[in-house]
Amino acid sequence: MEDNLISPAQRSAVVKRSAVNLPNYITLTRIFSVPVLIWVLSSSRFSSAHGEKELLASALFIAASLTDMADGYLARHRDQITTLGMLLDPLADKLLVAAAFVTLVQFNPRVVPAWMAVVIIGREFLVSGLRSIAATEGFTIAASDLGKFKMVVQIVAVVAAILDHHWMEWPLYIGGWVLPIHVIAFVAIWFMVALSLVSAIDYFAAFWSKIDRHVVRRRRRAFVLSRRRKRDVPATQ
């Protein structure tokens, strides 16, 4: 009976203020999938004799990556963008990327050497740092199209590197075609490294142009105010 007295606008405000909503729950599932992914790739419980481990880990990573698009879409569509969500979403992304590439260094080092993992993970934390500094200055750096494209390449690279642990090639049984898993993994990982470096430079350029303009404007304002103070001081005899 009391719920009927709440207007749609008030109900929307209550939902909007709720810290944990559906998009945030989806983000939390991505965070919880990180230790599961590490466990699947590192544990001897799953066998690689027929590729069960590789297929399970690939499906888990794809599902976790797709939640990144789902939570963002739902948060905007349902008007449920919260402070908690803005904190958890990039954290979940960084944890998933770091977990995948750190584990791949041990799981398939011939495709993912340690230095590649350092470059890719370093780029993620560099972008997070730039966004944090930008937020303290009062502006945001939106995700670029290059960053979104990087996510697609990232899914292909990680899945191909996982499958390459068991299959060099994958017969498609359609017209005698064979999917060259090893070639795809090798090319995708190298492309991922190059794209990480280019997108890091792109983010840094966007950050520097905004922060430099902001600092110059702030210095000019301080200079104008200091001159005004001097003019306001009465002349002494």
- Which uninterrupted H or E stretch holds 179? strand 178-179
Residue 99 within any structural domain of the chain: yes
121 φ/ψ angles, rounded to the nearest 5 degrees: -70, -40
- What tokens does 78 get? 């349902």
Q: pLDDT at position 2, please?
A: 39
| Residue 186 domain boundaries | 3-232
- What tokens does 142 get? 């939106």
pTM, 2 dp: 0.75
Q: pLDDT at position 142, please?
A: 63
Q: What is the CATH number of the domain that holds 129?
A: 1.20.120.1760
Residue 237 within any structural domain of the chain: no
Q: pLDDT at position 140, please?
A: 65
Q: Consecutive sets of 10 residues in the chain, 237 residues long: mean pLDDT of each?
A: 43 50 87 93 82 92 88 79 78 89 92 92 84 71 70 90 89 76 93 89 78 61 52 52
Residue 54 within any structural domain of the chain: yes
- What tokens does 150 get? 């990087």
Split into its structural domains, the chain has a count of 1
Residue 202 within any structural domain of the chain: yes
Please tell me the distance from the alpha carbon of residue 58 to that of residue 54, in angstroms, as a whole number.
6
Residue 13 within any structural domain of the chain: yes
